[in-house]
Structure 1
Amino acid sequence: MRTAPVFAVSAALVAGTTLGLAPTAHASGTAATGTTVRFVDIAGDGGTVLKANVVTPAGADGASRFPVIVLPTSWAVPQIEYLAQAQKLADSGYVVVSYNSRGFWQSGGEIETAGPKDVADASLVIDWALAHTPADPDKVGMAGVSYGAGISLLASAHDSRIKAVAALSGWADLIESIYSGRTQHLQAAAVLGGAGYLTGRPGPELRQILGDFLSSDLDKEDEMIAWGRTRSAATQLDRINANGAAIMLGNAWGDTIFPPNQYASFYEKLTGPKRLEFRPGDHATAEATGLLGLPNDTWTSAHRWFDHYLKGVDNGIDREQPVRLKPRSDGGYESYPDWKSVGADERKIALGGTQRIWANVDSGANGGLVFLSNILDQLVQAPPTASIPLLPRAFAGVWQSERYGTAQQVRGTAKLHTTVTSTKESGTLVAYLYDVGPLGLGKLVSNAPYTFHGQTPGKPFTVDLELFSTAYDVPAGHRLAVVVDTVDPLYIEHNPTGARLTFSSPAGDPSYVSVPLRAK
């Protein structure tokens, strides 16, 4: 839980800095550019007061109507979060209403974690904007980072007035985000829970779910999954597609709160206008400089998205290839017609032979620390590392490819297929893919956890696991290594004392990791 205060303080600092860099307002409430900024109270669901700010374009005389964008705040961040972006949008002719999500800071109510009340709040904020600002009812958009992204997507399923959405560093599937592979993402949940308690008022349902989740109460698993599904846009795809809003999704490759896989899967099932963008970084770091009012590629794309789908500007974004990626290297942006084209080629690494490992010991291979590790990768291309030759084989299974004569451009989702035999009925394994240099130092390319329950001790079973999607260039002369162990500080493990796991590769069903590669 030590990371939670760090997250909350960081969020507050970001918001505070945003306020400092946003254009200052005069005493009359008119910004230097002629736009006006007002701080207002909006009645949400059940009359709950939502603290909000409204930025109106210059020249709003009551006769003209402007597109409106509604911005719910991120988890644990005050309502000033989006002021810099709101000012930029207002300068280009938008009414912008940003509000503090219920249960946080000065807004009333309790934290619902994007529950029905949060979705109702979004529609009531739109109602307020249409009644109290020069907003055009036919040109309504929503956007947000993290929590605001999740609420925006869910609102687009329930409110057909929403014509365009920019959901940045958010989730479409809450279960696949923090409970992927049926493994609790410990640090992610601790950060969110801690920040919620520090800056808001978690409701009784959230307190119960968080307690059950962190305590590994398997008797409550079905209840936890049902709770998460009601808060997942992926379960409301039919409604979102029927409403037809133009959906832009943006995320970071190393997002340790909402990994990219679930966004990519959701994107593929959208039938309306859509766009998917991935960049290096961790949770919300791809958008951070934009919140400070600085140039930012993600926000630039979001503005272009709204300009086209709300204003009707012919800026060409609808004719561009809709999947846009920035690899975790010095390479520039790449564009693709769809997600399946990202890793069109494939190379398999055979997981031959039989390897047995003891559980309950961290081998030294791990995914790093929430936020810190992937921010370092974003800024200086320094992902978590491990010396592959020195990994203790009693606690880690290790397989390596040949050395590659040419650079390998890993793009998309690597997949593990193997046969496991456990001495216990429950257990957890974590799979890693490393880029290994000539001296044996491995740089983490991707990872993912997997937990099983109810297996018969001594009886083999099949494991199929998707690693977290990525875009990583392996230099010529390097090789890829697959490592599997049982302990990682990012995740809660379920390995009984004394458990052993055996990884085998039956002749009729060989084990492998398929690595997606960019087509030549």
Structure 2
Amino acid sequence: MRAPRSSPTLAVLAAALLLTGPAAAGAVAAPAAAAAAPTVRFADIPGDGGTVLKGNVVAPADTSRTYPLVVLPTSWSVPQIEYLAQAQKLAETGYVVVTYNSRGFLQSGGEIEVGGPKDVADASAVIDWALAHTPADAAHIGMAGVSYGAGISLLAAGHDPRIKAVAALSGWGDLIDSIYSGRTQHAMAGALLGGLGFLTGRPSAEFQQILKDFLGSNLAKEDEMIAWGKVRSPATYLDGINRNKPAVFLGNAWGDSFFPPNQYADFFSKLAGPKRLEFRPGDHATSEATGLLGLPNDTWTDTRRWLDHYLKGEDNGVQNEAPVHLSSRSGGGYEDYASWQDVGKAATKLDLGGSQRIATNLDSGADGGVTLLSNALDQLVKLPPAVSVPLLPRAWTGVWQSSAYGSERHVRGTTRLHTTVTPTKADGTFVAYLYDVGPLGVGKLVTHAPYTFHDRTPGQPFAVDLDLYATAYDVPAGHKLALVVDTVDPLYIEHNPAGAQLTFSSPAADPSYLSVPLREQ
């Protein structure tokens, strides 16, 4: 356990800006600080096919030698000035930094490809340009970025062996498992990203059709949508990444409502090279947001340490630290683990006995909150979405509760639900929520996840295994845990026909349970 370090205080404001906006052999140590202030200049950079990408170059004033290169693609809908504060810090310590506005957005040319092949080719073209037009060292190249920039950086690392280090913050390893987890469309996230894309850029015809099919629940095109997403998922190129072995730093928030943490943890576990995973409280891009404003920020501090070691060869100790670094949503500093599997290995099974039948298409009041807002409030003021569990309408809500715990318990990692569902219709959706329930019955949301099924035989039971989103949460002494299941959540598109009902049961031959990674303090 480490003592707490600085934490974001302006995350909501910065998030709004974001969305609307061992060392390689022969590494040459850079000076601790440039002799003069870094230079900053705008540049038109030819991307794939000659498409002009608007960028900035921030570099040490002394051009008599070469420096490690860091390339920063921008976040979704954000101009190329996004990274200037961090670029300045990097350049002051001996980096050439090239930031560029991603294809299809704002002043850059082309169309929005959503991390497609042209975006990957753009990243390599920017590296080519930087090596030809800046004092960049071809042997020490890194990429980094937030959100969309993180995804492009990881994708590029699977294709371009020149990339020796990556810092991917609030990004994705698997695009489908991010916005279509549990085979359920993440409607609020998809609509927000699509709207911002139309507002600030030029979506390609392919992206427009995919978005239309996705939000319109065009299941006839599901295979096409999944194939489209796989092309844009770094997990698809794990063989290339593991062959190239760049040092990969992954940072994300527990409550990321665009790219939930499970898919990042799974991607991290499959990496073969040097790697580090950090999770903190917050929502999409809020854990690193204050750093973009130039304020103290743990995520960016650790990012710079990572790049300093793997691009400049600095012996700062980061290579010897535990590769998994977590901060609980409840506060109390940092925890380190040898692997992601070690985080949640102490699991407790809660029996989900009995049978509960619920009606669908009615909102019980239990939900995952509002994209970007709810988990940012949890980060800033420890105020997650909450419900009164005793008042939840049992006609359309299933509820199972544990006994009260005599001492504080820590939830760390992934909660897993195993149950049997019997539908009255062929299609359906439900959402499972885990609540921390206090003495007055008020439940604070610990985690949740959606699940959708299609083409099932009405009246025929089937087993369901569902991973809820990974989290780190402390349950106070005297509190209970409650599993709540309903069928409507504004975050997701539901597929429950009119009049449908779902029965959750626990057959003797296959008992239902909730496996919670729970341990005593």
TM-score, structure 2 as length reference:
0.94
Contact (CA 8 Å) 1:57, 1:90: kept in 2 or not? Answer: yes
Query: How much has 1:12 moved relative to structure 2?
Result: 6.6
Are positions 1:55 and 2:58 aligned together? yes
Partner residue, 1:310: 311
Query: How much has 1:235 moved relative to structure 2?
Result: 1.0
Are positions 1:87 and 2:93 aligned together? no
Q: How far apart, CA to CA, are the structure 2 residues paired with 1:471 and 1:13?
A: 25
- Choose which of 11, 16, 20 in structure 2 pairs with 1:10: 16
Contact (CA 8 Å) 2:18, 2:75: kept in 1 or not? Answer: no
Q: How far apart, CA to CA, are the structure 2 residues paired with 1:7 and 1:399?
A: 38
**Letter paired with 1:52:** G
Q: How far apart, CA to CA, are the structure 2 residues paired with 1:9 and 1:484?
A: 30
Q: How far apart, CA to CA, are the structure 2 residues paired with 1:210 and 1:32?
A: 50
Are positions 1:207 and 2:213 aligned together? no
Q: Give matches, 1:294-443, under 5 Å.
A: 294-443=295-444
Q: How far apart, CA to CA, are the structure 2 residues paired with 1:518 and 1:239?
A: 38
Contact (CA 8 Å) 1:252, 1:281: kept in 2 or not? Answer: yes
Contact (CA 8 Å) 1:11, 1:76: kept in 2 or not? Answer: no
Partner residue, 2:119: 118
Partner residue, 1:175: 176
**Letter paired with 2:344:** G
Query: How much has 1:11 moved relative to structure 2?
Result: 2.5
Q: Give deviations 1:303-332, integer Å, cap 9, x for gaps.
A: 000000000000000000010000001210
Partner residue, 1:36: 39
Secondary structure in 1 matching 2:188: helix
Partner residue, 1:223: 224
**Letter paired with 1:35:** P
Secondary structure in 2 matching 1:158: coil
Contact (CA 8 Å) 1:344, 1:519: kept in 2 or not? Answer: no
Q: How far apart, CA to CA, are the structure 2 residues paired with 1:166 and 1:518?
A: 31
The structure-2 alpha-carbon separation of the partners of 1:112 and 1:374, relative to structure 1 and needing over 3 Å to count, comes to same
Query: How much has 1:33 moved relative to structure 2?
Result: 5.0
Q: How far apart, CA to CA, are the structure 1 residues paired with 2:265 and 2:520?
A: 19
Q: Give deviations 1:402-441, integer Å, cap 9, x for gaps.
A: 0001111000000000000000000000000000000000
Secondary structure in 1 matching 2:242: helix
Partner residue, 2:109: 108
Secondary structure in 1 matching 2:107: coil
Contact (CA 8 Å) 1:275, 1:322: kept in 2 or not? Answer: yes
Q: How far apart, CA to CA, are the structure 2 residues paired with 1:93 and 1:313?
A: 12
Which deviates more, 341-350 or 378-387? Answer: 341-350
Q: How far apart, CA to CA, are the structure 2 residues paired with 1:318 and 1:232?
A: 27
Contact (CA 8 Å) 2:19, 2:75: kept in 1 or not? Answer: no
Q: Which runs of 4+ in 1 moved over 6 A?
A: 6-9, 12-15
Partner residue, 2:247: 246
Q: Give deviations 1:253-281, integer Å, cap 9, x for gaps.
A: 00000000000000000010000000000
Q: Give matches, 1:123-202, under 5 Å.
A: 123-202=124-203
Contact (CA 8 Å) 2:15, 2:285: kept in 1 or not? Answer: no
Secondary structure in 1 matching 2:158: helix
Q: How far apart, CA to CA, are the structure 2 residues paired with 1:44 and 1:60?
A: 25
Q: How far apart, CA to CA, are the structure 2 residues paired with 1:13 and 1:338?
A: 31
Q: Give matches, 1:415-494, under 5 Å.
A: 415-494=416-495
**Letter paired with 1:207:** Q
Q: How far apart, CA to CA, are the structure 2 residues paired with 1:80 and 1:166?
A: 18
Secondary structure in 2 matching 1:112: coil
**Letter paired with 1:36:** T
Query: How much has 1:184 moved relative to structure 2?
Result: 0.1
Secondary structure in 2 matching 1:102: coil
Query: How much has 1:34 moved relative to structure 2?
Result: 1.8
Partner residue, 2:69: 68
The structure-2 alpha-carbon separation of the partners of 1:137 and 1:103, relative to structure 1 and needing over 3 Å to count, comes to same
Contact (CA 8 Å) 1:14, 1:81: kept in 2 or not? Answer: no
Query: How much has 1:32 moved relative to structure 2?
Result: 11
Query: How much has 1:519 moved relative to structure 2?
Result: 7.3
Partner residue, 2:48: 45
Q: How far apart, CA to CA, are the structure 2 residues paired with 1:404 and 1:8?
A: 38
Contact (CA 8 Å) 2:362, 2:487: kept in 1 or not? Answer: yes
Q: Give deviations 1:321-358, integer Å, cap 9, x for gaps.
A: 01000000121000000001011211111111000000
**Letter paired with 1:127:** D
Work out the percentage of aligned pairs sharing the same amino acid: 72
**Letter paired with 1:375:** A
Root-mean-square deviation (CA), in Å? 1.5
Q: Give matches, 1:272-291, under 5 Å.
A: 272-291=273-292
Q: How far apart, CA to CA, are the structure 2 residues paired with 1:35 and 1:322?
A: 32
Q: Give deviations 1:49-78, integer Å, cap 9, x for gaps.
A: 0000000113223xx110000000000000
The structure-2 alpha-carbon separation of the partners of 1:33 and 1:496, relative to structure 1 and needing over 3 Å to count, comes to farther
Q: Give deviations 1:135-165, integer Å, cap 9, x for gaps.
A: 0000000000000000000000000000000
**Letter paired with 1:315:** N
Contact (CA 8 Å) 2:103, 2:112: kept in 1 or not? Answer: yes
Contact (CA 8 Å) 1:345, 1:519: kept in 2 or not? Answer: no
Partner residue, 1:21: none
**Letter paired with 2:195:** G
**Letter paired with 2:253:** A
Query: How much has 1:168 moved relative to structure 2?
Result: 0.2
Gaps of 5+ in 1: 1-5, 16-30
Contact (CA 8 Å) 1:8, 1:195: kept in 2 or not? Answer: no
The structure-2 alpha-carbon separation of the partners of 1:128 and 1:386, relative to structure 1 and needing over 3 Å to count, comes to same
Contact (CA 8 Å) 2:18, 2:285: kept in 1 or not? Answer: no
Q: How far apart, CA to CA, are the structure 2 residues paired with 1:7 and 1:220?
A: 37
Query: How much has 1:123 moved relative to structure 2?
Result: 0.1
The structure-2 alpha-carbon separation of the partners of 1:518 and 1:39, relative to structure 1 and needing over 3 Å to count, comes to farther
The structure-2 alpha-carbon separation of the partners of 1:419 and 1:224, relative to structure 1 and needing over 3 Å to count, comes to same
Secondary structure in 1 matching 2:368: coil
Query: How much has 1:517 moved relative to structure 2?
Result: 2.5
**Letter paired with 2:54:** K
Contact (CA 8 Å) 2:14, 2:286: kept in 1 or not? Answer: no
Secondary structure in 2 matching 1:277: strand
Query: How much has 1:7 moved relative to structure 2?
Result: 10
**Letter paired with 1:10:** A
Q: How far apart, CA to CA, are the structure 1 residues paired with 2:503 and 2:208?
A: 38
Secondary structure in 2 matching 1:345: coil
**Letter paired with 1:189:** G
Q: How far apart, CA to CA, are the structure 1 residues paired with 2:416 and 2:211?
A: 30
Number of residue equivalences: 498
Secondary structure in 2 matching 1:318: helix
Partner residue, 1:18: none
**Letter paired with 2:237:** Q
Secondary structure in 1 matching 2:430: strand
The structure-2 alpha-carbon separation of the partners of 1:13 and 1:110, relative to structure 1 and needing over 3 Å to count, comes to closer
Contact (CA 8 Å) 2:20, 2:196: kept in 1 or not? Answer: no
